[in-house]
Amino acid sequence: MTPLLDVRDLRLHYETPRGPVRAVDGVSFEIGSPGEVVGIVGESGSGKTSMANALMRILPRNVARYDGEVLYDGEDLMALTDERFRKEVRWRTMAMVFQGAMSSLNPVLNVGRQVTERVLVESGASKREAYRKAEELLELVGLPRDIIKRYPHELSGGMKQRVVLAMALMMDPRILILDEPTSALDVSVQAQVMNLLKQLKRERGMAMLFITHDIALASDLCDRVVVAYGGEHVESGTLAEVLTAPKHPYTQKLIASIPRLHDPAQPEFIPGRPPDLVDPPSGCRFHPRCDFAFEPCDSDVPPWFEAGGAQHARCWLLGQSKGRG
C-alpha cells in the first residue's frame, strides 16, 4: 500500500556568507494513512521548521539547495510547477499551522475575511457558502460565532491559534502540518489546543505532522515519533517504542531531560551545543556530545539500523550488537 505521504531524502540548504547551512539534510519519513499523527521532535536548530517549510515550499530567497522526493499518494509534489503547487498542494493537500499564534494573522483584516479568503480566490466560490463553512469550523474549534467580525488584536493568544487552526481546515486538507502550535501559549490553553487536535484526529481522520521540541507533548498526540538532530533524523518508531526504549543516545538524553512531578531526580540536560549546520561534525553528528562515542562514530556516518518492531535508529551502538547493517 502506498503511504499517504512519503518523504525521501529531502534537502533544504541556505546560502550564507560562511557557506551553505544544511538545515534539512536528507531526511526521510512517511505518514502511512489518514488519521496517523507523526511527531517530529528535536531541539531548536535541528531543522524541524525548515523541514515543514520545505514541505510547503515556503522558501527564503537564499536557498542553496532544495531537492528530494515528496510523494503524496505516489505523486511527486516536488516535480510540480510553482503555480500548480500553489493551487493544488497548498491548503488542499497540506495545510500548515505556523509557530507563533500571535503573529500568524493579518492585523488589519477581520477573522472571517482571513479564514475564507483562500476558498474565495477559487473561481466560482460562493461567499455565503464560504462564510457558512467558516462559522462551522470556528464553532468546531470552540470559538463563538460572532468572532467572524472581530480583528486579531481583539483576541487572546489561544483564540488566535484556534482561528489559525480553523483557517487551516477550510479547504479540507489531507495532511495538517503543525509547527510548534502551542509553544506561544500558556499551559492550560496548550491543553485545550491539544485536545482539539486529538478530536480532529479522532473525528475527522486528519493526518498530521506534529513538530515540537517537547517530547512529552508529542507523546500526548502522536502515533509515531521521529527524532531530529542537526538537520538529520536519528531515530524513528512508534510512540511506545521510542518513549519507553529509546535506542539513540540523543533520544535517551531528550527523554531524561523531561522534568517530572513528584520525582526527586533532577532533569538532565544535554551537555554541549547543537551542531553547527554550516560545518557539521564528521561521522555521526551527535558524537561530540555523546557519552558512548567510540571508534567509528567520528569518521563514519551511521546508517539506519533496525531496532526491533518499527523502531530504527542511526547509531553505531546498534551496529555493534548486531553487526554492520
Give the interface with another protein as residue ranges (CB under 8 A): 56, 58, 86-87, 89-92, 95-96, 98, 100, 103-110, 117-118, 121, 151, 153, 164, 167, 171
Minimum CB separation of residue 56 from another protein in Å reads: 5
Q: Which is nearer to another protein, 106 or 282 (CB)?
A: 106
Residues with Cβ < 8 Å from 198, sequence gap 6 or more? 220, 221
Read off the DSSP letter of residue 268.
P
Q: Which is nearer to another protein, 96 or 228 (CB)?
A: 96
Three-class SS of residue 101?
Answer: helix
Residue that is written with C-alpha cell 521540541 in the block: 213
Residue that is written with C-alpha cell 517537547 in the block: 214
Minimum CB separation of residue 48 from another protein in Å reads: 16
Q: Which is nearer to another protein, 58 or 310 (CB)?
A: 58
Minimum CB separation of residue 58 from another protein in Å reads: 6
Q: Which is nearer to another protein, 82 or 295 (CB)?
A: 82
Minimum CB separation of residue 50 from another protein in Å reads: 13
Residue that is written with C-alpha cell 500553489 in the block: 86
What end-to-end distance do the CA atoms of the chain give, in Å?
25
- Count CB-CB contacts under 10 A for residue 239: 19
Half-sphere exposure in the Cβ direction for 118 (13 Å, CA): 21
Closest CA to 175 of 13, 23, 34, 12: 34
Minimum CB separation of residue 80 from another protein in Å reads: 12
Q: Which is nearer to another protein, 106 or 156 (CB)?
A: 106
